[in-house]
Each structure stands twice: as C-alpha cells, then as structure tokens.
Amino acid sequence: MLSFNVIILLFIVLSIAGGYFFKINIGIFAIVFSFIAAYIYGLNAKDVSGLWGLNLFFILLSITFFYGIVISNGTLSLVAEKMVFAVRNQPFLIPIVLFVTVVIFAGIGPGHYAAFAFMSPLVMVIASKINMSRLLAAIIIYSGAVAGGFNPFTLGGRVTEGLIEKLGYSVEMSQAYALTVGRNSFVIHTLIFIFGYILLKGYQVTSAQIEQPKLLNNQQKRTLALVALIFLLVIVPSVLLALNPQSLFLSKMTKMLDPTFLSFLGIVLALVLKLGNENEAMKNIPWSIIIMIGGLGMLTELASKAGAMTALSNYLNSIDGSTGGGVIYYLVAAFSSMMSVFASSMGVVMPTFYPIVPNLHVDNPGLMFSIITMFATFTGYSPFSSGGALVMAGLTDPKESKQLFIRLLILPFLLLALGYCLLYIGVLY
C-alpha cells in the first residue's frame, strides 16, 4: 500500500497534469484532492477548509482589486503611451523605454501577470510600427514584468513574502528573503533584456508615426494621485524604519500601514471618488490565479503537515551529500524549471517548492527561494505556461504568432543555460 507521503506527492502531480491536459484550473483539482487526502489522513471537512491560506488570499484580492480599478479607467495604459511618445524621434530608445515602462507598470503594484495581460497588446502594436523583433517585444513584456513584479510593494513581492512567512519564518526574515527574490528578479531579467536588445538589434528599429496620446482627464489625474498616495504610505514608513530601526513609533506605523489594508483603503477611496467602475475592476481580478495558488496551497499545506515535504527535502539532501555538496541548488533549479514549462510560476511552482526549503541543508535560504522563482520564470516563457501564453495574446497576425510560438519554445533552454552560468559565477546570489 502506498504511504500517505507518496499519495500527497502523487496528488500534486495529478493536479498539475489534470489542469494542463483538461485545460481546467489546477487549483480546482488540488482542492478536490485536498479533501480526498485529508479524509485519508483523518481530517474532517472543516479542517480541510482551514488549509486555505486566508492571509495570502487577502493579499491577492486587495492588490489586484485596487489596481483593477486603476487599469479599468485606462490611466496606466495612457501613461505608458505617453512615455513611448516622448522618445519617438530617438527610435533606438523606444525598446528601452518600453522595457522601463513595463517594469514601472508591474513595479508600482499590479504585478507581473497584470503587466503580461495589459502591456502585451501595446508593446506588440508598437513593435509592428517600428519593425522590432517580436521576440524582443516578448522579452520586453515578460522580463520587464518579472523584473518589476517581485519588489516588496507588488503583488508578486507580497505573495512571495506570504508564502515564506507561512513556512514559519519570522516577519523580518520573510521580508529579507522576499527582498532577495525581488533583487535577483530585477537584476537577472534586466540582463536578459540587455542581451536581447543587443543580439536582436533593438538599436536598429526604425522611426514611425506614433500618434500623440490623449491628455489625462480629471478622473485619471485623481487616479494617479491616489496611486502615488497609497504607494508612498507603503514605502515611506518602511524606509524610515530601515534608517531608524530603534523607533517604536515607526515600527507600529509600518505594521499599521499594511499593504493589504492600504489596498482596501485605496479601493474604498477610488469607488467613493468615482475613479472607476466596481464591476469592471472585478473583471481585472485574476480569479484563476487566486484559485490556483489557494488550491495548491491547501494540498502543499497538508503535505507539510503529513511530512511529505520533509521527506522530499531529505531525499534531495541525501543526493547533495553523496555528491560532495553544492549540487542541491542545481537540482532544485532543474525541478523548478521543468514544472514551469506547463504551469504558472507564482501559481504552481512557488507554492509547491517553497515548502521544501526550510529542511534543505543550505546556508542561504534566500538564494534557494530565488533559484526556485528565477528558474521557474525562465521556462515560464514557454507558450504552454501562463506567462508565455499571455505574452503571445498581444499578437493578432497568425503568421507572427506561429513564428513567436516556435521561438518561445527555444528561448527557455537558452535562458536555463544562462541561469546556470549566472548561478555558478555568483550573479544570482
């Protein structure tokens, strides 16, 4: 008879496989398997419901709802168009400005998934006007979104911190490890853009007639002011506390001005000030990602309770020990990248592999969290993964879509080789 640990790991694999082959949200499969596994383990239905990560759910809901309002009234898209229009007469700067725009779009809060979805059409349209490589356009969208999407003030950064804190690390350690992931995301994916810009000759794009964007209306100006206010309320107390860590007042203020609370405050203010439509904003909430993370989180939480994650960690530790040490980083990188070819980095790979980190024999858990995340994002370029699919959604020409599809199948292998080199020489640390 199969042990419970093997059953749990099998259920995780079946959830991912079922979601991929039947085109159904992986989280739904994971929820069903969580109930089945829990009954085998001896838990009741009420205990199973308690496995849902409520704190993580509120983080996802609050941030995506708030920025759903900002996105729904066209404010961020219009600002992006204005940035590109400003350098229309220096065409070699357009790819760089597009990359910076995507980084900022993702980095001020909405996160990388919103940037994939909402910046892809804009970047692809401009690429067709200036004869820019569609692969470079894909790199601008994807790597720009990842570079900006994991800082501590974005959806990706908050989810990363929440997943790490759930493993039993202190708030301070969770923030430090999440910051390491954010730093590595920015550095590595900015390097990928630089290589892409040079190799795909982004400096040789042609000038084009880019229409002057409309002026910001009063509603959009108020929206920008509100985004700036919420962003400053999140970042200023944290920066001041870092400069004066002994201050009890700043410590309390930082805890009170939690990004989840501030996002809900932003939602209320935006709706009261009529800055957007509540129903339209609801449509911009990535419910599929929330269900995916929450559902798979239930299964991995049960796996942790049953000791399956400890068993997997011990197995990896034994391989690392038998080979003289150091191999474990490369092993985890390989597993993470393989899973991400067919599944979401943040929705599947991170919730699955983060729980093994506390029991691994490594000196730098922050590096291991970064490796899981970075190598998942490398193969996340795959058109079979959610990131690659969203990037391709911006293309309307079937011929161009087919060409980009093939190139996005090859690119992850090149990025894996680059990733291993950067890990070996210590750029990823």
Residues 101 and 279: their CA atoms lie apart, in Å, by: 27
Which tokens sit at 206? 């042609």
Asked if residue 140 has pLDDT above 70, the reply is yes
Residues 76 and 325: their CA atoms lie apart, in Å, by: 47
User: What pLDDT does 113 receive?
Assistant: 82
Scan for tokens 């199969």, then name that residue.
2
Sign for the CA dihedral angle at 227, 229, 234, 235 comes to: positive
What's the rounded mean pLDDT across residues 217-226?
A: 94
User: What pLDDT does 313 receive?
Assistant: 85
User: What pLDDT does 174 receive?
Assistant: 94
Of 346, 384, 391, 414, nearest to 155 by C-alpha is: 346
User: How would you class 421 by CB atoms within 10 Å of its CB: exposed for 0-12, middle for 13-18, buried for 19 or more?
Assistant: exposed
What's the rounded mean pLDDT across residues 226-237?
A: 87
Q: Which residues have CB under 8 Å from 226's CB, separation 6+?
A: 266, 269, 270, 273, 275
Asked if residue 331 has pLDDT above 60, the reply is yes
**Measured between alpha carbons, how far apart are the two ends of the chain, in Å?**
42
The amino acid present at 302, given as its one-letter code, is L
**Are 381 and 138 in contact, with CB atoms under 8 Å apart?**
yes
Phi, psi of 77 (to 5 degrees): -65, -40
SS3 425: helix
Higher pLDDT, 5 or 199: 199
User: What pLDDT does 118 receive?
Assistant: 81
Residues 190 and 373: their CA atoms lie apart, in Å, by: 15
Phi, psi of 250 (to 5 degrees): -65, -35
Other Cβ atoms within 10 Å of 49 Cβ, number: 14
Asked if residue 180 has pLDDT above 90, the reply is yes
What's the rounded mean pLDDT across residues 358-368?
A: 92
User: What pLDDT does 213 receive?
Assistant: 87
What's the rounded mean pLDDT across residues 340-345?
A: 80
Residues 343 and 337: their CA atoms lie apart, in Å, by: 10
Query: Quick one: angle between helices 112-129 and 54-72, nearest 10?
Result: 30
What's the rounded mean pLDDT across residues 191-204?
A: 96
pLDDT tens per residue across span 267-317: 999 999 999 888 888 887 888 888 988 888 888 888 877 777 788 788 888
Residues 248 and 140: their CA atoms lie apart, in Å, by: 42
What's the rounded mean pLDDT across residues 131-143?
A: 95
Most confident option among 46-55, 254-263, 366-375:
366-375
**Are 201 and 56 in contact, with CB atoms under 8 Å apart?**
no
Other Cβ atoms within 10 Å of 282 Cβ, number: 14
Residues 240 and 225: their CA atoms lie apart, in Å, by: 22
CA neighbours closer than 13 Å in the CB half-sphere of residue 393: 17
Task: Look at the chain and count its residues.
Answer: 429
Question: pLDDT grade, residue 324 (50/70/90)?
Answer: low
**Are 343 and 17 in contact, with CB atoms under 8 Å apart?**
no
Say whether pTM exceeds 0.85: no
Question: pLDDT grade, residue 173 (50/70/90)?
Answer: very high
Asked if residue 396 has pLDDT above 80, the reply is no
User: What pLDDT does 236 receive?
Assistant: 85
User: What pLDDT does 59 receive?
Assistant: 82
